[in-house]
């Protein structure tokens, strides 16, 4: 998988990719992340990347020229790149989009903005997609692009130490995770649920499924919307409701 990040703060991006699961995937040759300093693609003496907004108003706008210039220089072929503009106006990133991106054969190029906005012509003429990571205001697109690269990287087969943990993940199966315990069996009077010590794997699987359903009903009932439950799950949910009576 090939990623590029275009930013005026390359250090932020290097700091994370040099110290994470991504570092391992890069070492294994499964992943390439190139970081490009947008200022290198300016042409004035001051390496200007922003300017005042036409029409007035607060804040600065990122100029179009450096984005067009880097695109023409590094990704002239439209067919072999997908430019993703990080923007609060983008579609909201989720696990489905992570899976969609993990199947890409094109290089994924992330454009990160700072200041109030990026010139609209970058949105309309260069971006193939626009992504947000959620409804809160950050100072730029660098962290969002790292969030997305991180989520996509762990879907690359072989990138995780244990490939099993990916398939059992919450969200990829649509439910929240069940509770986990490790030693000691009794910690300051708080005991591990007996079923987990029973060695009966059918019982353990059912307990875990029940706890996943219980915690999802309690904390994220929205995750059930538009989901068809199996009759097994329906029965477990009945049981959960009876338990709480």
Q: How far is the CB of 118 from ligand 9D3 (least distance, A)?
A: 8
Q: Which is nearer to ligand 9D3, 52 or 187 (CB)?
A: 52
Tokens of 214: 């219980």
Say whether 91 is catalytic: no
Residues in binding contact with ligand 9D3, number by CB under 6 A: 16
Question: What span, in angstroms and rounded, lies between the C-alpha atoms of 171 and 180?
Answer: 17
Q: Which is nearer to ligand 9D3, 66 or 113 (CB)?
A: 113
Question: What span, in angstroms and rounded, lies between the C-alpha atoms of 233 and 216?
Answer: 12
Q: Which of 135, 8, 122, 4 is nearest to 69 (CA)?
A: 122
Cβ atoms 37, 7 nearer than 8 A: yes
Cβ atoms 149, 22 nearer than 8 A: yes
Say whether 154 is catalytic: yes
Q: How far is the CB of 69 from ligand 9D3 (least distance, A)?
A: 20
Residue ranges in 121-160 that form contacts with ligand 9D3 under rule CB under 6 A: 132-134, 136-141, 144
Q: Which is nearer to ligand 9D3, 111 or 178 (CB)?
A: 111
Q: How far is the CB of 87 from ligand 9D3 (least distance, A)?
A: 5
**What is the DSSP track for 7-30?**
ES-HHHHHHHHTSSHHHHHHHTTS
Q: How far is the CB of 130 from ligand 9D3 (least distance, A)?
A: 8
Given the residues 96, 100, 116, 120, select the one marked as catalytic. Answer: 116
Say whether 88 is catalytic: yes
Strands 190-191, 186-187: pairing kind: antiparallel
113 makes contact with ligand 9D3 (CB under 6 A): yes
Say whether 77 is catalytic: no
Binding mask 68-107 for ligand 9D3 (x = CB under 6 A): ------------------xxx-------------------
Question: What span, in angstroms and rounded, lies between the C-alpha atoms of 190 and 91?
Answer: 43
Angle at 56 (CA atoms; ends 54, 58), nearest 5 degrees: 120
Instruction: Name the phi and psi angles at 185, rounded to 5.
Output: -60, -35
| Sole window of 48-56, 70-78, 110-118, 177-185 interacting with ligand 9D3 (rule: CB under 6 A) | 110-118
**What is the DSSP track for 176-201?**
PPPP---S-SEETTEEPPGGGGS--H
| Sole window of 7-15, 113-121, 182-190, 205-213 interacting with ligand 9D3 (rule: CB under 6 A) | 113-121
Q: Which residues pair with 33 in a beta bridge?
A: 3
Q: How far is the CB of 32 from ligand 9D3 (least distance, A)?
A: 22
Using CB under 6 A, list all residues that contact ligand 9D3: 86-88, 113, 116-117, 132-134, 136-141, 144
Question: Any idea which residues carry the catalytic annotation?
Answer: 88, 116, 154, 169
């Amino acid at each position: 998988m090939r990623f590029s990040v275009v930013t005026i703060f390359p250090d932020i991006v290097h700091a994370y990719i040099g110290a994470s699961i991504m570092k391992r995937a890069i070492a294994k040759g499964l992943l390439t992340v190139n970081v490009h300093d947008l200022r290198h693609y300016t042409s004035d003496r001051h390496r200007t990347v922003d300017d005042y907004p036409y029409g007035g108003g607060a804040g600065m706008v990122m100029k179009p020229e450096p984005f067009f210039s880097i695109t023409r220089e590094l990704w002239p072929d439209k067919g072999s790149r997908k430019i993703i503009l990080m923007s609060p106006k983008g579609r909201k990133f989720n696990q489905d989009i992570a899976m969609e991106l993990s199947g890409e054969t094109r290089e994924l190029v992330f454009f990160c903005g700072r200041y109030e906005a990026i010139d609209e012509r970058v949105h309309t003429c260069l971006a193939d997609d626009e992504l947000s990571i959620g409804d809160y205001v950050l100072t730029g697109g660098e962290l969002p692009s790292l969030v997305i690269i991180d989520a996509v990287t762990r879907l690359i087969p072989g990138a995780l130490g244990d490939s099993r943990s990916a398939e059992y993940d919450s969200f990829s199966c649509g439910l929240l995770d069940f509770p986990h315990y490790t030693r000691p069996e009794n910690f300051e009077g708080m005991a591990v649920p007996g079923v987990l010590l029973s060695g009966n794997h059918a019982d353990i699987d059912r307990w875990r499924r029940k706890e996943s359903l219980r915690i999802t009903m309690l904390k994220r009932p929205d995750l059930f919307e538009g989901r068809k439950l199996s009759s097994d799950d329906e029965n477990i949910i009945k049981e959960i409701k009876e338990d709480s009576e």
